[in-house]
Chains A and B, each alone.
Chain A
Amino acid sequence: MEDSPERTTEKASPRPEETSWEAEVERLEIADSRGVRIWRDAFRRLCLRLEDGTEHVDVRPAPVFPVSEAAEYVAFLDSEDKEVLLLRDMRWLEAESRRCLEEELGRVYFVPKIISIYDIEDAHGAARWEVETDRGYRLFDVRDREDVRVLEGRRVLLQDADGNRYEIADITEMDERSRRLVDGEI
């Protein structure tokens, strides 16, 4: 977009501090979170200290683009679900904070990757999958073809009957048999 329209609607927004859209883009692009510290307290709550020294107890990390991975942003929400920090890239965190965040993200967003497929038993779209994932062996039922989503022709996202998620990162990198089995489902 070349000519950006004047943003007159901003005033209606209830936020006290207003920044223009351009300034926000710029801020997001250069945001540097090197000074941020993340740790888990004795009560297993995730705690966060911002660069200005403010501390937040019991925050919840939320991956912002978990599927497309368009950016490495991780949002941190307080107990009221308000954002307290948008972390641009967790690689900038110091080691201990980063380990702690990664561990928490593994809980908040649990999507095992399917490495190979032993069998798929299909009856009109309802299917029982028997697979090996990066978290170990798993047997699950898919209720409907709609729960098997293909992205860019090679990536597959699955949801099983109970709401568990799985992912095939790249069909073409799986073994022949797995590939053939998946092919019947997509």
Chain B
Amino acid sequence: MEAGQMEEVERLLSGEVQETLPEAVELEAQRLIEPEERRIVTLSTDIAPDGTYADRWLVVTDRRLATFAPEDGKARLEVELALSEVRGVRLRDFLGNGSLEAVTETGAVEVVRFSRTIAPQMPRVQRILRALAKVSDSPGDHRRGKGGGGKALRCESCGRALPRWSEVCPFCMKRGQLIARLMSYVGPYKTIAIAGFLLSIVLTFLNLAPALVTRYLFDRVIGPGDLSRLGIPVRWLLAIYLTRTVVGMVRGYMMEWLGGRVVLDMRVQLYDHMQMLSLGFFSRKQTGQIMSRVTNDIMRLQYFVAEGLQQIIINLLTIPVICVMMFASDPKLAALTLVPTPFMALGTYMFGRMIHRVYQKVWRRYAGLNAVLADAIPGIRVVKSFAQEERESARFRDRSGSLFNQELNAVKLWTTFFPALGMMTAIGSLFIYWYGGRQVIEQQTTLGTLVMFTQLMWQFYMPVQMLGEMNHRVQHALTAAERVFEVLDTTPEIPDAPGSIKMERMEGRVEFRNVHFSYEAGKPVLQDISFVAEPGDVVGLVGPSGAGKSTLVHLLCRFYEVEEGQVLIDGHDVRELSLKSLRQQIGVVLQEPFLFHGTVADNIAYGVPTAKAPEIVAAAKAANAHDFIVSLPHGYDTQVGERGQLLSGGERQRVAIARAVLKNPRILILDEATSSVDTETEMLIQQALDRLVRNRTTFAIAHRLSTLRKASTILVLEHGRLVQIGSHDELLDVEGLYGRLCKLQSELSKVRGV
């Protein structure tokens, strides 16, 4: 074996393709493999050749490849092939599975089949095999697959796949830690929190005190008929009620303030953090999901932080206090009152679980209903023009109906559970009347005690019920907390390396050196891209959609990091540059320019908020935008509306160009900046762009190849590879993708009469 080949193999090796063989397979492998052979890959897969789920073991040595099928404690050799015979290695990528095939002089064999679970390891195996068999890739190996699916993150402790919305495993979530972390937000407002908590305890006792006064009222005043003492308990009760009201008001305000304040802090922290996160985070998640974290999830926490936890503590306190009060005055009666409690607690707990499940379904039905709306309302023009109003109505009616049915299930639970609970409480009171009444008549206990018991009983059952319910409320809050913390724990965008270089002024020399990149393991988006752009060059990026043009410029902006190779600006690896200084010198004009809510001037000055009026106007003039801006009702102070919707597409485009002009970047990226506008506007935009690209290194992604005539270099990408490079004229002279695309376009423009 040549040294170069082995080096390549070493580079590709990783633990992922080297698993320990089970005993039976090991035994069988030893019979086949010579002791001096080196084992390079030992990997298990999960689908047998006949398409059933079964383990197969792939063993690759420096001499051969073999697969083994474990069967009843033994192993059977299934495929064996000497690497010297291998002429090619194919990876086939299908829906839900894939296969690895080895091609020889006379035919091909299927080596292994595997599910998508194993698929991410396979490109590496393929590359190792190719290096070992000394074959290069051949056409047909890059056939686009239908595999789909992403690289799921897995929990480090239990191995389960993490849900899409979370980077925390819901199965391994530690409640205590979460609560402690939540409570740390209360830290800065300790005084208020403690005061509020003390007031809550006072309030608890104030709630229990009337029962004691009532006993006094019956036993010492009404019973003996002592009119002179009637004023005492009434005055006491009045005092208690008054204090209770005032304490309640103060406490309520304090707790609401605390909850609101904590939520304010969290929301701001969350949003600040989000601004720092990488594009990868935002493309993984739906906008709605991200927004709901800043609003809904945080809202759920408000209640829990301010009230929930205190409620739990207060309830836990109230129960023993009442018990003491009851047992101290009549142990037997107290014991009887307690009889229904375990049933109540258990019942509430079970109800909580059931209703939670039912509500989950109700919510899903709601989501389904919303989906119909979100679909049909924005698409109402299509609905009407195809005269499908009735069908849309039917769809809505159908979803509404299933929501109603599901809600009925919840209603059934509510309406059976609460009366049943009421009955249990009533049974408790029956015990008290039946046994207590007899005690009073037999003069074993006083009437006052009996009345006190009935009052305490109600106050006792309440916290018991609440505790039963607490479980899933806490769960709810903690889930929300988890999602919020997940965002907070996501490491911000590719952080600056220590000692990163701040480039004050870059020349704009861009170089890609053997760049490889993929968003998902096993699905390369860019492969082995190398080129140089000198300062001031206009580089055109051409290729079918999905070829990797946008990804290439993303790597230049360092929205993502390269997997292999380097991106260099003025000879510095972009990873060595501080992100801020890098992006300050890159200007981007997108296909669908995004304007923010605000005035035209605000939008032009977005990158340079300190820009003065003359600078803004000059930028607008350079962008051919000045004329239309001054004709707007409020000139530069005209509001552009949400996402700039009050302007036309071509107008937005020119505002976006003005924005880039003002920023005065050394490197400019134009992403299909002239598509989707009429010819005249296109001309205006093109003029503006021609002015803009002067003296800057420009990367222009374009579908209309005519716009690239002036490009100094054109990079033609296909399936993530750089297939052609040269000027427009050079590329036209040779056979290739560029020539074909140009021919197609000129035919098209003949049809359009342009």
A160 to chain B, nearest CB (A): 7
Complex Cα distance, B116 from A112, in Å, reads 13
B138 to chain A, nearest CB (A): 12
0/1 interface trace, chain B 381-406, chain A, CB 8 Å (1 if under): 00000000000000000000000000
Per the 8 Å Cβ criterion, residues 98-155 of A in contact with B are 106-112, 121, 123-126, 128, 133, 135-138, 140-146
Residues of B near A161 (CB, < 8 A) are 149, 152, 154, 161
Instruction: Please tell me if the beta carbons of B52 and A107 are within 8 angstroms of each other in the complex.
Output: no
- Chain B interface size band reads 35 or more
A146 to chain B, nearest CB (A): 8
A-B contact count (CB 8 A): 120
Per the 8 Å Cβ criterion, residues 87-107 of B in contact with A are 92, 94-97, 99, 101, 103, 106-107
- Residue B227 lies at the interface, judged by CB distance under 8 Å to chain A: no
- Residue A26 lies at the interface, judged by CB distance under 8 Å to chain B: no
- Residue A172 lies at the interface, judged by CB distance under 8 Å to chain B: no
Segment among A47-55, A85-93, A162-170 that sits at the interface with chain B: A162-170
Instruction: Please tell me if the beta carbons of B95 and A108 are within 8 angstroms of each other in the complex.
Output: yes
Instruction: Please tell me if the beta carbons of B364 and A145 are within 8 angstroms of each other in the complex.
Output: yes
Instruction: Please tell me if the beta carbons of B53 and A136 are within 8 angstroms of each other in the complex.
Output: yes
- Residue B188 lies at the interface, judged by CB distance under 8 Å to chain A: no
Segment among B75-83, B162-170, B603-611 that sits at the interface with chain A: B162-170
Residues of A near B108 (CB, < 8 A) are 42-45
A64 to chain B, nearest CB (A): 13
- Residue B24 lies at the interface, judged by CB distance under 8 Å to chain A: no
- Residue B190 lies at the interface, judged by CB distance under 8 Å to chain A: no
Residues of A near B747 (CB, < 8 A) are 14
Segment among B140-148, B484-492, B612-620, B674-682 that sits at the interface with chain A: B140-148
0/1 interface trace, chain A 175-186, chain B, CB 8 Å (1 if under): 000000000101
A135 to chain B, nearest CB (A): 5
- Residue B58 lies at the interface, judged by CB distance under 8 Å to chain A: no
* With known contacts A42-B107, A162-B117, A133–B95 Cβ distance under 8 A: no
- Residue B160 lies at the interface, judged by CB distance under 8 Å to chain A: yes
- Residue B150 lies at the interface, judged by CB distance under 8 Å to chain A: yes
A147 to chain B, nearest CB (A): 8
Per the 8 Å Cβ criterion, residues 3-22 of A in contact with B are 12, 14
Instruction: Please tell me if the beta carbons of B107 and A141 are within 8 angstroms of each other in the complex.
Output: no
Instruction: Please tell me if the beta carbons of B99 and A107 are within 8 angstroms of each other in the complex.
Output: yes
Residues of B near A184 (CB, < 8 A) are 357
Instruction: Please tell me if the beta carbons of B51 and A143 are within 8 angstroms of each other in the complex.
Output: no
**Total interface residues on A, using CB and 8 Å?**
45
Residues of B near A186 (CB, < 8 A) are 364
Instruction: Please tell me if the beta carbons of B95 and A165 are within 8 angstroms of each other in the complex.
Output: yes
* With known contacts A42-B106, A109-B95, A110-B97, A163–B161 Cβ distance under 8 A: no
Instruction: Please tell me if the beta carbons of B149 and A163 are within 8 angstroms of each other in the complex.
Output: yes
- Residue B741 lies at the interface, judged by CB distance under 8 Å to chain A: no
* With known contacts A44-B110, A144-B163, A164-B115, A124–B152 Cβ distance under 8 A: no
Complex Cα distance, B97 from A152, in Å, reads 27
Residues of A near B147 (CB, < 8 A) are 163
Residue contacts A-B, CB under 8 angstroms, 29 given: A42-B106, A43-B108, A44-B110, A60-B143, A81-B144, A107-B113, A108-B95, A110-B47, A110-B95, A112-B96, A124-B163, A126-B161, A126-B171, A135-B51, A140-B117, A141-B160, A142-B161, A143-B161, A144-B164, A145-B364, A146-B164, A160-B117, A160-B161, A162-B115, A162-B116, A162-B161, A163-B119, A163-B150, A164-B96
